[in-house]
Chains A and B, each alone.
Chain A
Protein backbone atom coordinates (compact mmCIF):
# COMPACT_ATOMS: atom_id res chain seq x y z
CA UNK A 1 0.00 0.00 0.00
CA UNK A 2 1.24 3.48 -0.77
CA UNK A 3 0.61 6.45 1.44
CA UNK A 4 -1.42 9.29 -0.04
CA UNK A 5 0.25 12.53 -1.04
CA UNK A 6 1.22 14.65 1.92
CA UNK A 7 -0.50 18.02 1.93
CA UNK A 8 0.48 20.51 4.58
CA UNK A 9 -1.54 23.62 5.44
CA UNK A 10 -0.52 26.72 7.39
CA UNK A 11 -2.26 25.68 10.57
CA UNK A 12 -0.52 22.32 10.96
CA UNK A 13 2.76 23.73 9.66
CA UNK A 14 2.72 26.31 12.47
CA UNK A 15 1.91 23.66 15.07
CA UNK A 16 4.76 21.50 13.81
CA UNK A 17 7.18 24.42 13.95
CA UNK A 18 6.07 25.31 17.48
CA UNK A 19 6.60 21.77 18.61
CA UNK A 20 10.06 21.57 17.03
CA UNK A 21 11.08 24.92 18.54
CA UNK A 22 9.98 23.77 21.97
CA UNK A 23 11.96 20.57 21.58
CA UNK A 24 15.06 22.47 20.43
CA UNK A 25 14.98 24.76 23.44
CA UNK A 26 13.97 22.12 26.03
CA UNK A 27 16.64 19.69 24.85
CA UNK A 28 19.20 22.44 24.28
CA UNK A 29 19.75 21.13 20.76
CA UNK A 30 21.38 22.98 17.87
CA UNK A 31 19.03 21.91 15.13
CA UNK A 32 15.76 20.02 15.04
CA UNK A 33 14.12 19.03 11.80
CA UNK A 34 11.42 16.86 10.37
CA UNK A 35 11.68 14.91 7.13
CA UNK A 36 9.22 12.58 5.49
CA UNK A 37 10.34 9.05 4.76
CA UNK A 38 10.91 9.93 1.11
CA UNK A 39 13.51 12.55 1.95
CA UNK A 40 11.43 15.71 1.64
CA UNK A 41 12.10 18.21 4.37
CA UNK A 42 8.93 19.25 6.19
CA UNK A 43 10.20 21.79 8.72
CA UNK A 44 13.41 22.78 10.46
CA UNK A 45 14.36 25.02 13.39
CA UNK A 46 17.64 26.07 14.96
CA UNK A 47 20.94 27.28 13.57
CA UNK A 48 20.53 26.37 9.91
CA UNK A 49 22.95 28.86 8.41
CA UNK A 50 25.82 26.45 7.92
CA UNK A 51 23.70 23.40 7.23
CA UNK A 52 22.65 21.98 3.86
CA UNK A 53 19.23 20.85 5.06
CA UNK A 54 18.11 19.46 1.70
CA UNK A 55 21.03 17.05 1.53
CA UNK A 56 20.61 16.28 5.19
CA UNK A 57 16.97 15.37 4.59
CA UNK A 58 17.73 13.09 1.68
CA UNK A 59 20.58 11.32 3.43
CA UNK A 60 18.55 10.90 6.61
CA UNK A 61 15.74 9.26 4.67
CA UNK A 62 18.25 7.03 2.88
CA UNK A 63 19.75 6.09 6.21
CA UNK A 64 16.36 5.30 7.75
CA UNK A 65 15.30 3.34 4.66
CA UNK A 66 18.47 1.26 4.75
CA UNK A 67 18.06 0.65 8.48
CA UNK A 68 14.42 -0.34 7.93
CA UNK A 69 15.63 -2.84 5.36
CA UNK A 70 18.09 -4.24 7.89
CA UNK A 71 15.36 -4.46 10.52
CA UNK A 72 13.10 -6.46 8.23
CA UNK A 73 15.95 -8.81 7.35
CA UNK A 74 16.23 -9.84 10.98
CA UNK A 75 12.48 -9.91 11.53
CA UNK A 76 11.98 -6.53 13.23
CA UNK A 77 9.32 -4.06 12.10
CA UNK A 78 11.65 -1.08 12.35
CA UNK A 79 14.43 0.35 14.48
CA UNK A 80 12.58 3.31 15.87
CA UNK A 81 15.65 5.18 17.11
CA UNK A 82 19.04 5.74 15.48
CA UNK A 83 21.88 7.55 17.11
CA UNK A 84 25.12 8.68 15.55
CA UNK A 85 27.84 9.92 17.85
CA UNK A 86 30.49 12.27 16.56
CA UNK A 87 33.48 13.99 18.13
CA UNK A 88 31.60 17.25 18.49
CA UNK A 89 28.08 16.86 17.15
CA UNK A 90 25.67 13.99 17.45
CA UNK A 91 22.54 13.06 15.52
CA UNK A 92 19.49 11.49 17.10
CA UNK A 93 16.90 10.12 14.67
CA UNK A 94 13.46 8.79 15.54
CA UNK A 95 10.41 7.75 13.54
CA UNK A 96 7.11 9.54 14.24
CA UNK A 97 3.75 7.99 13.40
CA UNK A 98 5.55 5.54 11.10
CA UNK A 99 5.86 8.09 8.34
CA UNK A 100 8.00 11.03 9.33
CA UNK A 101 11.50 11.26 10.72
CA UNK A 102 12.47 13.54 13.59
CA UNK A 103 16.13 14.53 13.60
CA UNK A 104 17.90 16.28 16.48
CA UNK A 105 21.45 17.54 16.13
CA UNK A 106 23.15 18.37 19.41
CA UNK A 107 26.58 18.82 20.97
CA UNK A 108 28.19 18.62 24.41
CA UNK A 109 26.01 21.38 25.83
CA UNK A 110 23.34 18.77 26.42
CA UNK A 111 23.16 15.01 26.88
CA UNK A 112 21.74 12.03 25.05
CA UNK A 113 19.52 11.30 28.04
CA UNK A 114 17.92 14.74 28.00
CA UNK A 115 17.47 14.62 24.23
CA UNK A 116 15.76 11.24 24.41
CA UNK A 117 13.48 12.43 27.18
CA UNK A 118 12.41 15.57 25.31
CA UNK A 119 12.09 13.74 22.01
CA UNK A 120 9.62 11.36 23.57
CA UNK A 121 7.37 14.24 24.60
CA UNK A 122 7.68 15.95 21.25
CA UNK A 123 6.85 12.72 19.47
CA UNK A 124 3.55 12.47 21.28
CA UNK A 125 2.68 16.02 20.16
CA UNK A 126 3.78 15.42 16.60
CA UNK A 127 1.84 12.19 16.36
CA UNK A 128 -1.32 14.08 17.25
CA UNK A 129 -0.60 16.71 14.61
CA UNK A 130 0.01 14.08 11.93
CA UNK A 131 -3.18 12.28 12.89
CA UNK A 132 -4.94 15.58 12.32
CA UNK A 133 -3.23 15.96 8.94
CA UNK A 134 -4.27 12.46 7.95
CA UNK A 135 -7.85 13.17 9.04
CA UNK A 136 -7.92 16.36 6.99
CA UNK A 137 -6.52 14.55 3.96
CA UNK A 138 -9.23 11.93 4.29
CA UNK A 139 -11.93 14.60 4.51
CA UNK A 140 -10.52 16.34 1.48
CA UNK A 141 -10.56 13.14 -0.48
CA UNK A 142 -14.26 12.81 0.22
CA UNK A 143 -14.88 16.46 -0.62
CA UNK A 144 -12.97 16.17 -3.84
CA UNK A 145 -16.04 15.13 -5.77
CA UNK A 146 -17.96 18.18 -4.60
CA UNK A 147 -15.89 21.30 -4.91
CA UNK A 148 -12.21 20.87 -4.27
CA UNK A 149 -10.35 23.29 -6.50
CA UNK A 150 -6.73 22.28 -6.69
CA UNK A 151 -4.44 25.13 -7.73
CA UNK A 152 -2.93 22.70 -10.24
CA UNK A 153 -6.10 21.90 -12.14
CA UNK A 154 -5.22 24.64 -14.59
CA UNK A 155 -1.60 23.73 -15.34
CA UNK A 156 -0.89 24.15 -19.03
CA UNK A 157 1.88 23.08 -21.38
CA UNK A 158 3.05 26.70 -21.44
CA UNK A 159 3.49 26.73 -17.67
CA UNK A 160 5.80 23.76 -17.99
CA UNK A 161 7.69 25.15 -20.99
CA UNK A 162 8.33 28.29 -18.97
CA UNK A 163 10.02 26.24 -16.23
CA UNK A 164 12.65 25.15 -18.73
CA UNK A 165 12.92 28.36 -20.66
CA UNK A 166 16.15 29.68 -19.15
Chain B
Protein backbone atom coordinates (compact mmCIF):
# COMPACT_ATOMS: atom_id res chain seq x y z
CA UNK B 1 0.00 0.00 0.00
CA UNK B 2 1.79 3.10 -1.20
CA UNK B 3 1.18 6.03 1.09
CA UNK B 4 1.09 9.31 -0.82
CA UNK B 5 1.18 12.33 1.43
CA UNK B 6 0.23 15.37 -0.62
CA UNK B 7 0.57 17.62 2.41
CA UNK B 8 4.20 16.67 3.03
CA UNK B 9 4.78 15.83 -0.66
CA UNK B 10 6.09 12.38 0.10
CA UNK B 11 5.59 8.93 -1.36
CA UNK B 12 6.23 6.04 1.01
CA UNK B 13 6.73 2.57 -0.40
CA UNK B 14 7.35 -0.73 1.33
CA UNK B 15 9.77 -3.26 -0.13
CA UNK B 16 10.13 -6.69 1.43
CA UNK B 17 13.18 -8.95 1.02
CA UNK B 18 12.00 -12.56 1.06
CA UNK B 19 13.85 -15.86 0.86
CA UNK B 20 14.91 -18.99 2.73
CA UNK B 21 16.90 -18.92 5.97
CA UNK B 22 20.50 -17.67 5.68
CA UNK B 23 20.13 -16.64 2.03
CA UNK B 24 21.44 -13.12 2.70
CA UNK B 25 18.40 -10.86 3.10
CA UNK B 26 19.81 -9.06 6.11
CA UNK B 27 23.23 -8.85 4.40
CA UNK B 28 21.58 -7.06 1.45
CA UNK B 29 20.10 -4.48 3.82
CA UNK B 30 23.33 -4.18 5.76
CA UNK B 31 25.24 -3.40 2.55
CA UNK B 32 22.68 -0.80 1.46
CA UNK B 33 22.90 0.74 4.91
CA UNK B 34 26.72 0.86 4.84
CA UNK B 35 26.85 2.44 1.41
CA UNK B 36 24.18 5.10 1.80
CA UNK B 37 24.79 8.70 2.86
CA UNK B 38 23.90 9.33 6.47
CA UNK B 39 21.43 12.02 5.39
CA UNK B 40 19.49 9.60 3.19
CA UNK B 41 18.97 6.77 5.63
CA UNK B 42 17.48 6.11 9.01
CA UNK B 43 18.58 3.59 11.56
CA UNK B 44 18.87 -0.06 10.55
CA UNK B 45 16.73 -1.92 13.01
CA UNK B 46 17.29 -5.64 13.43
CA UNK B 47 15.03 -7.72 15.59
CA UNK B 48 17.31 -10.73 15.79
CA UNK B 49 18.06 -13.60 18.12
CA UNK B 50 21.29 -13.79 20.10
CA UNK B 51 22.82 -15.79 17.27
CA UNK B 52 21.99 -13.04 14.78
CA UNK B 53 19.14 -14.87 13.08
CA UNK B 54 16.29 -12.54 12.15
CA UNK B 55 13.50 -13.04 14.67
CA UNK B 56 10.84 -10.65 13.40
CA UNK B 57 12.23 -8.23 10.81
CA UNK B 58 15.01 -5.87 9.82
CA UNK B 59 13.96 -2.40 8.84
CA UNK B 60 15.79 0.29 6.91
CA UNK B 61 14.17 3.58 5.85
CA UNK B 62 15.78 5.11 2.77
CA UNK B 63 15.27 8.51 1.11
CA UNK B 64 16.08 8.23 -2.55
CA UNK B 65 15.44 11.78 -3.75
CA UNK B 66 12.51 13.36 -5.53
CA UNK B 67 10.30 12.25 -8.39
CA UNK B 68 7.91 14.82 -9.84
CA UNK B 69 8.42 16.99 -6.77
CA UNK B 70 7.62 14.20 -4.35
CA UNK B 71 10.17 12.89 -1.87
CA UNK B 72 10.44 9.13 -2.31
CA UNK B 73 10.94 7.15 0.87
CA UNK B 74 11.48 3.44 0.64
CA UNK B 75 10.99 1.30 3.70
CA UNK B 76 13.02 -1.87 3.30
CA UNK B 77 12.05 -4.88 5.38
CA UNK B 78 13.37 -8.41 5.59
CA UNK B 79 11.39 -11.38 6.83
CA UNK B 80 12.72 -14.14 9.08
CA UNK B 81 13.61 -16.94 6.65
CA UNK B 82 13.35 -19.92 8.95
CA UNK B 83 10.35 -22.07 8.18
CA UNK B 84 8.74 -21.91 11.62
CA UNK B 85 8.47 -18.10 11.60
CA UNK B 86 5.69 -18.19 9.01
CA UNK B 87 3.21 -16.20 11.11
CA UNK B 88 5.71 -13.33 11.33
CA UNK B 89 6.45 -13.46 7.59
CA UNK B 90 2.79 -13.10 6.82
CA UNK B 91 2.50 -10.01 9.02
CA UNK B 92 5.44 -8.29 7.37
CA UNK B 93 3.91 -8.67 3.90
CA UNK B 94 1.02 -6.48 5.00
CA UNK B 95 0.92 -3.38 2.82
CA UNK B 96 3.87 -4.47 0.67
CA UNK B 97 4.50 -2.60 -2.59
CA UNK B 98 7.31 -4.72 -4.00
CA UNK B 99 9.16 -7.94 -3.22
CA UNK B 100 12.79 -8.93 -3.70
CA UNK B 101 13.33 -12.66 -3.59
CA UNK B 102 16.85 -13.49 -2.46
CA UNK B 103 17.76 -17.01 -3.54
CA UNK B 104 20.70 -18.96 -2.17
CA UNK B 105 22.71 -20.15 -5.18
CA UNK B 106 24.04 -23.28 -3.49
CA UNK B 107 22.76 -26.54 -4.87
CA UNK B 108 21.91 -27.81 -1.39
CA UNK B 109 19.51 -24.88 -0.93
CA UNK B 110 17.58 -25.33 -4.17
CA UNK B 111 14.65 -27.04 -2.50
CA UNK B 112 14.62 -24.40 0.25
CA UNK B 113 14.43 -21.67 -2.42
CA UNK B 114 11.54 -23.37 -4.20
CA UNK B 115 9.73 -23.94 -0.92
CA UNK B 116 10.21 -20.29 0.03
CA UNK B 117 8.83 -18.99 -3.29
CA UNK B 118 5.82 -21.23 -2.80
CA UNK B 119 5.44 -19.84 0.71
CA UNK B 120 5.69 -16.27 -0.62
CA UNK B 121 2.99 -16.95 -3.19
CA UNK B 122 0.69 -18.36 -0.53
CA UNK B 123 1.33 -15.59 2.00
CA UNK B 124 0.78 -12.88 -0.61
CA UNK B 125 -2.51 -14.50 -1.53
CA UNK B 126 -3.54 -14.59 2.12
CA UNK B 127 -2.96 -10.82 2.26
CA UNK B 128 -5.02 -10.31 -0.89
CA UNK B 129 -2.13 -9.82 -3.34
CA UNK B 130 -1.15 -11.70 -6.46
CA UNK B 131 2.49 -12.47 -7.16
CA UNK B 132 1.72 -12.22 -10.88
CA UNK B 133 0.97 -8.51 -10.63
CA UNK B 134 3.20 -7.57 -7.68
CA UNK B 135 6.46 -5.72 -8.48
CA UNK B 136 8.95 -8.53 -8.06
CA UNK B 137 12.69 -9.02 -8.56
CA UNK B 138 14.83 -12.13 -8.19
CA UNK B 139 18.41 -12.16 -6.91
CA UNK B 140 20.77 -15.15 -7.06
CA UNK B 141 22.97 -14.51 -4.06
CA UNK B 142 26.29 -16.12 -3.05
CA UNK B 143 27.60 -16.38 -6.63
CA UNK B 144 31.13 -16.48 -5.21
CA UNK B 145 30.69 -19.88 -3.56
CA UNK B 146 32.17 -22.93 -5.30
CA UNK B 147 28.94 -24.82 -4.61
CA UNK B 148 26.83 -22.25 -6.49
CA UNK B 149 24.66 -23.72 -9.25
CA UNK B 150 24.96 -22.36 -12.80
CA UNK B 151 22.86 -19.18 -13.13
CA UNK B 152 20.91 -20.40 -16.15
CA UNK B 153 19.91 -23.55 -14.28
CA UNK B 154 18.73 -21.43 -11.33
CA UNK B 155 16.85 -19.17 -13.70
CA UNK B 156 15.03 -22.14 -15.11
CA UNK B 157 14.07 -23.44 -11.69
CA UNK B 158 13.30 -20.21 -9.84
CA UNK B 159 12.20 -17.52 -12.27
CA UNK B 160 8.43 -17.52 -12.30
CA UNK B 161 7.30 -14.69 -14.55
CA UNK B 162 10.40 -13.44 -16.35
CA UNK B 163 11.02 -11.02 -13.51
CA UNK B 164 14.29 -9.06 -13.64
CA UNK B 165 16.99 -11.33 -12.23
CA UNK B 166 20.38 -10.37 -10.83
CA UNK B 167 23.43 -12.28 -9.74
CA UNK B 168 24.84 -11.06 -6.47
CA UNK B 169 27.33 -11.44 -3.69
CA UNK B 170 25.68 -9.52 -0.87
CA UNK B 171 28.75 -9.66 1.37
CA UNK B 172 30.75 -7.62 -1.16
CA UNK B 173 27.73 -5.73 -2.47
CA UNK B 174 27.75 -7.12 -5.99
CA UNK B 175 24.27 -6.87 -7.48
CA UNK B 176 22.75 -5.39 -4.33
CA UNK B 177 21.96 -1.92 -5.67
CA UNK B 178 20.98 -3.28 -9.10
CA UNK B 179 18.38 -5.42 -7.36
CA UNK B 180 17.06 -2.53 -5.28
CA UNK B 181 16.92 -0.23 -8.27
CA UNK B 182 14.98 -2.78 -10.32
CA UNK B 183 12.32 -3.23 -7.68
CA UNK B 184 12.09 0.53 -7.01
CA UNK B 185 11.61 1.07 -10.73
CA UNK B 186 8.73 -1.37 -10.86
CA UNK B 187 7.08 0.09 -7.76
CA UNK B 188 7.26 3.67 -9.06
CA UNK B 189 6.14 2.65 -12.54
CA UNK B 190 3.21 0.95 -10.86
CA UNK B 191 2.12 4.33 -9.48
CA UNK B 192 1.48 5.43 -13.04
CA UNK B 193 -1.24 2.89 -13.42
CA UNK B 194 -3.06 3.97 -10.28
Which residues of A are at the interface with B, using a C-beta cutoff of 8 A? 1-10, 12-14, 36-40, 42, 52, 54-55, 58-59, 62, 65-66, 68-69, 150-155, 157, 159-160, 162-164, 166
Of the A-B pairs whose beta carbons lie under 8 Å apart in the complex, a sample of 23, sorted by A's number, is: A2-B129, A5-B1, A6-B3, A6-B4, A8-B3, A13-B5, A14-B7, A37-B95, A38-B14, A39-B95, A55-B43, A55-B59, A58-B75, A59-B59, A66-B88, A68-B91, A155-B68, A157-B185, A159-B188, A160-B67, A163-B64, A163-B72, A164-B181
Query: Is A54 a contact partner of B42 (Cβ separation < 8 A)?
Result: yes
Nearest first, the 10 A-B pairs at minimum CB distance are A38-B95, A13-B7, A2-B128, A152-B191, A65-B91, A163-B64, A40-B3, A54-B42, A40-B12, A10-B7
Interface of A is mostly: mixed
Which residues of B are at the interface with A, using a C-beta cutoff of 8 A? 1-8, 11-12, 14, 37, 42-43, 45, 47, 56-57, 59, 61, 64-65, 67-70, 72, 75, 87-88, 91-92, 94-95, 127-129, 177, 181, 184-185, 188-189, 191-192, 194
Q: Known contacts A66-B91, A163-B67; is A10 also within 8 Å of B6 by CB? A: yes
Nearest-neighbour CB distance to chain A for B190, whole angstroms, equals 9
- Complex Cα distance, B14 from A39, in Å, reads 9
Partner of A58, one of B7, B45, B88: B45
Nearest-neighbour CB distance to chain B for A78, whole angstroms, equals 13
Query: Is A58 a contact partner of B192 (Cβ separation < 8 A)?
Result: no
Interface of B is mostly: mixed
**Chain A contacts of B70 at CB under 8 A?**
151-152
Nearest-neighbour CB distance to chain B for A163, whole angstroms, equals 4
Among residues of B, the one whose C-beta sits closest to the C-beta of A58 is B59
**Chain A contacts of B68 at CB under 8 A?**
151-152, 154-155, 159
Among residues of A, the one whose C-beta sits closest to the C-beta of B129 is A2
- Complex Cα distance, B72 from A115, in Å, reads 35
Partner of B184, one of A4, A6, A163: A163
Partner of A151, one of B69, B181, B189: B69
Query: Is A13 a contact partner of B8 (Cβ separation < 8 A)?
Result: yes
Q: Known contacts A38-B1, A55-B45, A155-B189; is A164 also within 8 Å of B64 by CB? A: yes
**Chain A contacts of B88 at CB under 8 A?**
66
**Chain B contacts of A155 at CB under 8 A?**
67-68, 188-189, 191-192
**Chain A contacts of B129 at CB under 8 A?**
2
- Complex Cα distance, B164 from A133, in Å, reads 36
Q: Known contacts A39-B75, A58-B59, A59-B45; is A9 also within 8 Å of B194 by CB? A: no
- Other A-B pairs beyond A8-B4, A65-B94, A155-B189, 13, CB < 8 Å: A1-B128, A8-B6, A13-B7, A14-B7, A38-B94, A42-B5, A58-B59, A62-B47, A66-B56, A66-B91, A150-B192, A151-B70, A152-B11
